[in-house]
Amino acid sequence: MSLLPILSTEFHLTQTRKGQEIFHSFSRGLCPVCRELVDGARIIRDGKVYLRRQCPKHGMQESLISGDVEWFLKSLSFARPGIQPKEYSTNVEKGCPHDCGLCPDHEQHSCLPIIEITNHCDLECPICIVQNRHNYHMTRTEFVSILDGLVRKEELIDTVNLSGGEPMLHPEILQFIDTARQYRQFTRLSISTNGLRIASDWEFCQQLAERGVYINLQLDSLSNQSLRTLRGTGRHDTVKQKALENLERAGVRTTIVATIARGVNDHEIGDCVRLVMEKDFILSLMFQPAAYTGTGGSQFGPHDPLDIITIPDIVRCMEEQTGGDLKRSDFLPLPCSHPGCFALTYLLKTEDGCIPFPRFIELENYIAAITNRGTIRPDDRFDEMLRNTIDQLWSAAGQIPDSPRILRTLKRALRLMFPDDRRIELEERLRLGEGLVKTIFIHAFMDEHTFEVDRIRKCCTHYALPDGRLMPGCAYNMMYRHRDSRFTGPIGTAQLRIPGQ
Ligand code: SF4
Ligand code: SF4
């Protein structure tokens, strides 16, 4: 097999003979055996992109990093300069990714800080990417110190996420929520959960609703067969169904988070989309291509690094499994992170179904609304985008399918969210906007096989640590988590539950 030198045009990069290889660019990745940083190259072959690394001790390794070379090439054009945080916590000393963080070399501020408030969990998911040791609950002092640190580093944060482990097992979860809600700099507080407590404790679910939190419910499939493969033994389907019922009844704003593993549940992507479209209380859907790292994920099999599911594969499955209701052209990489990390689309909820934003908004307007932030914020910039789009739809009437319906919805949105006769608080505007828009994200966490330093340097999803550091998500998972002093020490006794029993 010959390795051709880099060619300059996209056409040449996408039009190769079967088996022919083209060098695209240099990279820096990890050896999955010793986890040392090693030099590598991105290689195009048979319409896909591979990361090839050479470890001095363990030889050459190769892994798939994009299942579609056209998507990969296009996504690179979405890179935009990031925003610096107001304060750094470390210096540049050893070089990326050994100085996290954030160090002054980091290229993006924190759009989504994640606070892991516990490492206890009542499930032992075969696909789990963290390392639950059942020996740590965050103290109130640590929690407040993290929140104060975030305020020092960021002006405004759209979403602060509480995670774990299973955060609902923290004995002070409701007090933590109350504490976080006192910070006016945080627009939303979300909690990632397996849903077991929500399904079994209606009163608790009501208390979450009263506090206005957003729930990220882990729900990879509607079938118990797939759920058992990904989440372990038990009747997960009945528990997830009960959790959905309770969340809907209590009116909790919910995101469905679906980990997708090749050959396990990639045929159920369309079902997840339909669920989100049908239910008003579900605001968004997050697909996460499986990352084969952590206690569970690193053992999850069968796993072939050359045949994983990547962002463009999930987009293709959505198009196929929704009969074209969603199309590849509806999705764009998120310019906030590295474009290899996220893709998304916003959907406008009209009186007769959802219409993806890219079908009626000019690309540059759209990108401006999502650059340097993970979610649309209903601020002056959004107001301007709505008005511009309405003007453009007027002038292009007839050229855009469904334009009367889109116009009606946008004008209603403008009237509700930005009325001329009174000022509306951001929180209320946010709620109004949430009734009009749904979001589908794809977030591709890296593992030891797909890790690239370029991506980590632009990371906008950061674990917030009690010592003040913000750790880019995949750097922490790969290089720091196992050394985190909070999580070392003897492994505690797991209080596991079998869902449905
Ligand atoms: S990932 Fe960011 S914070 Fe960490 S060492 Fe690299 S540049 Fe610095
Ligand atoms: S957590 Fe990983 S996949 Fe997500 S933005 Fe950061 S580097 Fe990219």
474-484 pLDDT, tens digit each? 999 999 998 88
pLDDT for the residue 392: 83
Helix count (H) and strand count (E) of the chain? 17, 17
Instruction: Please state the rounded mean pLDDT for residues 339-348.
Output: 93
Which residues 6+ apart lie within 8 Å of 471 measured at CB? 100, 101, 462, 463, 464, 465, 480
Instruction: Please state the rounded mean pLDDT for residues 328-352.
Output: 91
Which residues 6+ apart lie within 8 Å of 428 measured at CB? none
pLDDT for the residue 10: 55
Among 30, 87, 98, 100, name the best residue to mutate to test ligand 1's pocket (greatest count of ligand atoms within 8 A of Cβ).
100
At residue 465 the predicted structure's pLDDT band, cuts being 50, 70 and 90, is very high
Q: Which of 123, 306, 116 is nearest to 218 (CA)?
A: 123
pLDDT for the residue 100: 96
Buried b (16+ CB within 10 A) or exposed e, 430-452: bbbbbebbbbbbbbbbbbbbbbb
Q: Specify which residues 214 forms β-bridges with.
A: 190, 253
DSSP for 385-438, please give it.
HHHHHHHHHHHTTTTSTTHHHHHHHHHHHHHHHS-TTS---HHHHHHHHHTTEE
User: Which tens digits make up the pLDDT trace of 356-390?
Assistant: 998 988 777 777 766 655 566 777 878 888 888 88
Distance of CA 140 from the midpoint of ligand 1 (Å): 28
User: Which tens digits make up the pLDDT trace of 230-246?
Assistant: 999 888 899 999 999 99
Select, from the ranges 74-88, 391-405, 433-447, the one with the highest average predicted confidence (pLDDT): 433-447
- Which ligand sits closest to the CA of 478? 2
At residue 492 the predicted structure's pLDDT band, cuts being 50, 70 and 90, is confident
Distance of CA 82 from the midpoint of ligand 1 (Å): 14
The answer, yes or no, to whether residue 5 has pLDDT greater than 70, is no
User: Which tens digits make up the pLDDT trace of 288-310?
Assistant: 999 999 888 999 988 999 999 99
Select, from the ranges 173-177, 405-409, 430-434, 483-487, the one with the highest average predicted confidence (pLDDT): 173-177
The answer, yes or no, to whether residue 122 has pLDDT greater than 90, is yes
CA distance readout (Å), 395 to 299, 362, 417, 463: 56, 13, 23, 46
Which residues 6+ apart lie within 8 Å of 106 measured at CB? 85, 88, 457, 459, 472
| Whether 461 contacts 472, CB under 8 Å | yes
d(CA 490, CA 124): 18
Q: Which atom of ligand 2 is nearest to the CA of 444?
A: 3
Q: Which residues line ligand 2 (CB under 6 A)?
A: 337-338, 341, 443-446, 455-456, 459-461, 472-474
Instruction: Please state the rounded mean pLDDT for residues 419-446.
Output: 87
Give, as one character, the DSSP assignment of residue 330.
G
Q: Which atom of ligand 1 is nearest to the CA of 472?
A: 1
The answer, yes or no, to whether residue 165 has pLDDT greater than 80, is yes
**Residue 74: burial class (beta carbons within 10 Å; 0-12, 13-18, 19+):** middle
Distance of CA 344 from the midpoint of ligand 1 (Å): 25
pLDDT for the residue 104: 96
pLDDT for the residue 393: 84
Domain boundaries, the chain: 1-77, 348-440
- Which ligand sits closest to the CA of 469? 1
Q: Which of 455, 471, 166 is nearest to 333 (CA)?
A: 455
Q: Is the CB of 471 under 6 A from ligand 1?
A: no
Q: Which atom of ligand 1 is nearest to the CA of 475?
A: 1
d(CA 453, CA 29): 6
d(CA 266, CA 262): 6
Q: Is the CB of 85 under 6 A from ligand 1?
A: no
Q: Which atom of ligand 2 is nearest to the CA of 456?
A: 7
Q: Which atom of ligand 1 is nearest to the CA of 470?
A: 3
pLDDT for the residue 370: 66
Among 456, 460, 461, 474, name the best residue to mutate to test ligand 1's pocket (greatest count of ligand atoms within 8 A of Cβ).
456
- Which ligand sits closest to the CA of 461? 2
Angle, helices 426-434 vs 403-417, to 10°: value is 160
Residues counted in the chain? 501
State the Rg of the chain over Cα: 22
At residue 8 the predicted structure's pLDDT band, cuts being 50, 70 and 90, is very low
Among 103, 337, 452, 474, name the best residue to mutate to test ligand 1's pocket (greatest count of ligand atoms within 8 A of Cβ).
103
pLDDT for the residue 384: 84
d(CA 43, CA 51): 6
- The mean pLDDT of the chain is 91
| Token pair belonging to 470 | 């913000």
Give percent of the chain above pLDDT 90: 67
Which residues 6+ apart lie within 8 Å of 224 measured at CB? 235, 236, 237, 238
The answer, yes or no, to whether residue 347 has pLDDT greater than 80, is yes
